[in-house]
Amino acid sequence: MFGIFGICGLLVFILARPQEYVEVLQRLPMLYLFCAGAVGGFVLDVKLRRNDPQPVPILRWVVAFLLWATICSAVKAGPAFQPNLIEVGILFILFATISHGAQTLHAFRIVAATVMVVGLFLAVVCIHQGLQDRSCIVTDPEHPGEGTPDGRPCEMASNCYETDAEPGAEYRCEKAGMFGTYSIDDRVRYRGELHDPNELGMTVCISAFAMLIAFANQRRRPLTIVAAVVGSLVVLYCVKLTQSRGAILVFALVVSVYAIRRFGIGGVIAAGMAALPLVALGGRSGEAADMSTRLRYEAWYAGLQMFKQSPVFGVGQRQFSEHHYMTAHNSYVLALAELGFIGLVLFICLLYLTVKTLVLGVIQLEHVPGARPAQVWAMALLSSFAGMLFAINTLSFSYHTVLWIFLGLGGAWVSMVRHHKPDFDVRITSRDLAAIVAGCAAFAFVVLPLFLRFKGA
């Protein structure tokens, strides 16, 4: 398990981003060092016969998607091709090292525990942020979303431009937290890829909350259960502070998957009843929420027009914002607009195969002796994907590292099962592929256009 240190380091530095606020870490290319450590550790594990080099079934679809993204980028992205190529390489390394480097139950637990701890860390940091009083924040024009509090209290941004204002500085009146974080319109958030409250809320639900349930289910000891309950309440409070309607529903969906598994058809009703108190937590509402929805529909319409203008190659990876003033706010529209119809099909294949593998794993391992831990983790990942697949309807997540981390965890689960049951194999059949192509065609040519017309976009 020499690759585990590199994998866990990658997870910490990608999600928590300590290199951005710990000065000593800025002197070394830590992400590249951990990438090298993860890849080198995997090679060493293979040579020592600790790991099996056999690729997981989803790998071919990952390669196909990333290769197609590279082709579209080469055709359409122009000067952005090189940074896009680097991003594709990082996503591949992240997925491949996680999915092939954690092939035993012990290794999988370490990686899952790292994801859980980082998720709880994000929740605690953001709760601290949400409990602060508003203060004047000097924004950083070179790094959107970052800023420095100057210590002056405020009620609105105009207060910050009064006495003691720094000439030429741009101010916001927000809640300042640890590590240079601050809220946006009083909604808590983090840094980097998690600077959006909606993405933060979803991430802490599918990482910390789902993994807490898994550890509690696996051990079933009083202390572990208490820790899971406390951690879940921390996550729920963080979600409340994000004011994200989507994140609240993701939290409910994680619970719902377990309810459906436990109670069958009746679990649907039980899950709905369990979700009612969560909906009462609310989220944004009123004019601001309505405006956000209208802008989202406008972005979807723009994405549909991009697809119509270039149905094969799209507009190129990471080029949506070059053709519209805001991001797509829908991962499926984003894939369609940037990578064309083929890109959307390949993207859906990634998600479909992961979910199909987990569902069949839960069913097929039901009566296999000693397979309960694998079932526990399959349920955790399945609940995470249920929440994520719903949430990315309003998030631009096609190349987001959180998505690729969980795709990697899905692959790692397969590697873990194969370690004890080598004949376990789930693939996309020709019938599956035909259904996916038909579904994508219906989405691109019928469902999305009619929905936008109905909404007046």
pLDDT tens for the 457 residues of the chain, in order: 677 888 888 899 999 988 888 878 777 787 778 888 888 877 887 787 777 778 899 999 999 999 999 999 999 988 889 999 999 998 998 999 999 888 888 889 999 999 999 999 999 999 999 999 999 998 877 766 677 888 889 988 888 988 788 888 888 899 988 888 899 988 999 988 898 999 999 999 999 999 999 999 887 788 888 998 999 999 999 999 998 888 998 998 888 888 777 666 665 566 566 555 655 555 555 566 677 778 889 999 999 999 999 999 999 999 999 898 888 889 999 999 999 999 999 999 999 999 999 999 998 888 888 888 889 999 999 999 999 999 999 899 999 999 999 999 999 999 989 888 888 889 999 999 999 999 999 999 999 999 999 877 6
| Phi, psi (rounded to 5 degrees) for 147 | -170, 175
| Residue 219 resides in a domain | yes
pLDDT attached to residue 273: 62
Question: Does one domain contain both 289 and 250?
Answer: yes
Question: Does one domain contain both 124 and 153?
Answer: no
Question: Does one domain contain both 202 and 145?
Answer: no
Length of the chain measured in residues: 457
Question: Does one domain contain both 169 and 79?
Answer: no
Are 66 and 89 in contact by the 8 Å Cβ rule? The answer is: no
3-state secondary structure of 214: helix
| Residue 308 resides in a domain | yes
Are 84 and 73 in contact by the 8 Å Cβ rule? The answer is: yes
pTM of the model: 0.92
Count structural domains, the chain. Answer: 2
| Residue 8 resides in a domain | no
Count of alpha carbons within 13 Å of 167, Cβ hemisphere only? 0
DSSP symbol at 170? -
Question: Does one domain contain both 142 and 291?
Answer: no
pLDDT attached to residue 265: 60
| Residue 403 resides in a domain | yes
Lookup: tokens for 395: 């998030």
The domain boundary, picked from 117, 152, 176, lies at 176
| Phi, psi (rounded to 5 degrees) for 137 | -115, 125
pLDDT attached to residue 339: 95
| Residue 2 resides in a domain | no
Question: Does one domain contain both 312 and 220?
Answer: yes
Question: Does one domain contain both 125 and 156?
Answer: no
- Report CA 229 to chain centroid distance, whole Å: 23
147-153 and 171-175 strand pairing: unpaired
Q: Kindly tell me the sign of the dihedral angle through the C-alpha atoms of 283, 285, 288, 290.
A: positive
Closest CA to 46 of 86, 97, 110: 97
Question: Does one domain contain both 142 and 125?
Answer: no
Helix, strand, coil tally for the chain in percent (to 5): 70, 5, 25
Question: Does one domain contain both 321 and 368?
Answer: yes
Question: Does one domain contain both 403 and 370?
Answer: yes
Element (H, E) at 149: strand 147-153
Are 201 and 123 in contact by the 8 Å Cβ rule? The answer is: no
The domain boundary, picked from 176, 210, 245, lies at 176
Are 440 and 345 in contact by the 8 Å Cβ rule? The answer is: yes
| Residue 30 resides in a domain | no
Q: How many angstroms separate the CA atoms of 6 and 11, rounded?
A: 9
Lookup: tokens for 344: 């959307």
134-139 and 171-175 strand pairing: antiparallel
| Residue 329 resides in a domain | yes
Sheet arrangement for strand 134-139: 147-153, 134-139, 171-175
3-state secondary structure of 166: coil
pLDDT attached to residue 301: 93
Q: Kindly tell me the sign of the dihedral angle through the C-alpha atoms of 234, 237, 243, 246.
A: positive
Are 184 and 197 in contact by the 8 Å Cβ rule? The answer is: yes
Question: Does one domain contain both 287 and 138?
Answer: no
Question: Does one domain contain both 441 and 394?
Answer: yes
First to last CA, the chain: 52
| Residue 376 resides in a domain | yes
Helices (H), 264-400: 265-279, 287-309, 320-323, 331-364, 372-391
The domain boundary, picked from 141, 176, 211, lies at 176
Q: Which domain holds residue 166?
A: 133-176
